[in-house]
Structure 1
């Protein structure tokens, strides 16, 4: 009888050991198949938790319709990235034009955007207020934030209740913004896209600043191999994203570190197909450093009936002064003259 009991005990121990071994093996396999980075294969992107490859139709609950997206446009999943980044988030408070506040993740050691938000709760307060005031009366206006950084514009406009599409080449910025949106309960209003913007698709290297941590610019990569690296990103055209957008008015903000001209070259169909009312862009680089790009931007927008203004006071600007007295940021407003389309 005692021998029988010993046998039963040994059998139970054996079964338990086998069970624990199976759990260990399955856990190891799962961890290998689910690495920290959310983009597991070349040219894949994440749409609401699902990996999608090539030009497939995706059922998008945010828009309630089928959308066809270029294989190179990478939609950044907010939920999974926010969960993964939450413990790394250095929280600050962002102030909103309606008097409310919301949490925002900021870069440690940054001397510009993050530092100013930590200090005052704002980045470019006057410009955010102007965007807010212009969008508020137009209930269905969408906001396209090109070069969103950590979300200083995206977050307030999402708080306004508008649809926001935010694009950035810096994956860390998007992880931080995803976390901020989840913390503030604003993620349903926003789509994040991890790409650089240009006039063609190619791999580029991301050059980040030391003092302006969230700011980064892209340069041509010597390697065009299909590998995801932390500081390598794929550029796309804005025209590659057309089917993502609803046929409603747009406010576009552009701050993409001197590649605005290239981005506009890749946005011809976008400006033709959609009702773009406003374009807010950083101008300081085009006054003296890149005057030819500045001239292209002026011609592109002027031909499409846009007129430049000072964002803070809406004072009109003269095109002849573009390389001398224009301010750091310029607001282009589309003005349709009587008898024109």
Structure 2
């Protein structure tokens, strides 16, 4: 009897996975999410909220983007509302590399309200934007629809890690972009984690450019991307590089990963480009050697 129940449960899970199998075409213009077993399209997340603030990016000119109020988000949203952009130098770097590799997909890992993602999609590139905050995913979805980008953009509402688990989110005061993953805690919002390797269940990418800004979870994200980097030619990664108090030997682990996948720091203006302790910036571009 136990064996029969086990087989019935296994078959049920298999059928559920088969029914929910997604493809590249079926995910364009959608919010998707993955739990421990399978991906699904999350139309319930793509809902426009009354508290969404409509702003416009200066580049590309007059691009609509939905953000938070200045009071809720004193950093990215306030900058977009007041100046029409955020991290303009880094956005320009990504735009440059996507123009060099126009057939690549741009992965915006830690998309926030989507400044990078919306910019690149508006310029005509294929974009997949990841964010663990449901409010961010919903705003990117509204921006996608407002800008007519449903043929270019997919939004993934998950945290990126190396294991499948449910985690809680801790967010900085008036700073939506500063969100950490913590063990599940009562009363805090939760989200499922995915790995970059999980993308291979849906996509058959040949080439990619990546921006990664996920508040000290970069090592876990890279650890869960071995197969992805084996199958996809990653041309460049722009990442926030900060020593982590929770990840031992953060710098060494990141650089070991980059070296093993033929990526190196682009320009540190130092005698030894691998001496990360001497770097004078936290935003590091790794490029294919």
TM-score normalised to structure 2 length? 0.83
SS in 2 for 1:286: coil
- Alignment equivalent of 2:225, drawn from 262, 267, 277: 267
1:144 alignment counterpart = 107
In the other structure, the counterpart of 1:281 is 239
Q: Give 1:176 shift.
A: 0.7
Per the alignment, do residues 118 and 280 of structure 1 end up closer, same or farther by CA in structure 2, a change over 3 Å counting?
same
1:305 — aligned with what? 262
**Which of 56, 63, 73 is matched with 1:102 structurally?**
63
C-alpha distance in 1 between matches for 2:286 and 2:256: 12
Change (3 A) 1:140 1:324: same
1:71 matched to 2:33? no
RMSD: 2.6
Write the deviation string for residues 177-230 of structure 1: whole angstroms up to 9, x where unpaired.
Answer: 10111111112211111111111111100111212124311112268xxxxx87
Tell me how far 1:59 sits from its aligned partner. Answer: 5.3
Q: 2:171 aligned to 208, 220, 223, which one? A: 208
CA distance in 2, matches of 1:155, 1:317: 37
**CA 1:255–1:75 in structure 2 vs 1: closer, same or farther (change >3 Å)?**
farther
Q: Is 1:318 matched up with 2:272?
A: yes
Check if 1:166 corresponds to 2:123. no
Specify the alignment match of 2:22 in structure 1: 58
CA distance in 2, matches of 1:81, 1:204: 18
| Residues 154, 166 of structure 1: 8 Å contact kept | yes
- Structure 2 runs not aligned, ≥5 long: 1-14, 29-33
The answer to whether the 8 A contact 2:105-2:205 is kept is no
- Which of 88, 105, 121 lines up with 2:84 in the alignment? 121
1:332 aligns with 2:281: no
In the alignment, the residues of structure 1 paired with residue 271 and residue 182 of structure 2 have an alpha-carbon distance, to the nearest angstrom, of 32
Residue 252 of structure 2 corresponds to 295
Q: Give 2:154's aligned residue.
A: 191
Alignment correspondent of 2:53: 90
Q: What secondary structure sits across from 1:281 in the alignment?
A: strand
Distance in 1 (alpha carbons) for counterparts of 2:178 and 2:222: 20
Q: Which moved more, 1:204-213 or 1:261-270?
A: 204-213
Look up the SS of the partner of 1:253 in the other structure: strand
Structure 1 segments unaligned to the other structure (5+ residues): 1-51, 224-228, 336-341
Structure 1 residue 130: Cα displacement = 1.1
Partner secondary structure for residue 187 of structure 1: coil
Could you report, residue by residue, the CA deviation over 1:93-121 in whole angstroms, capped at 9, with x for unpaired residues?
Answer: 1122xx52211111122111111111211
1:17-64, Cα deviation, whole Å (9 max, x unpaired)? xxxxxxxxxxxxxxxxxxxxxxxxxxxxxxxxxxx9435433553589
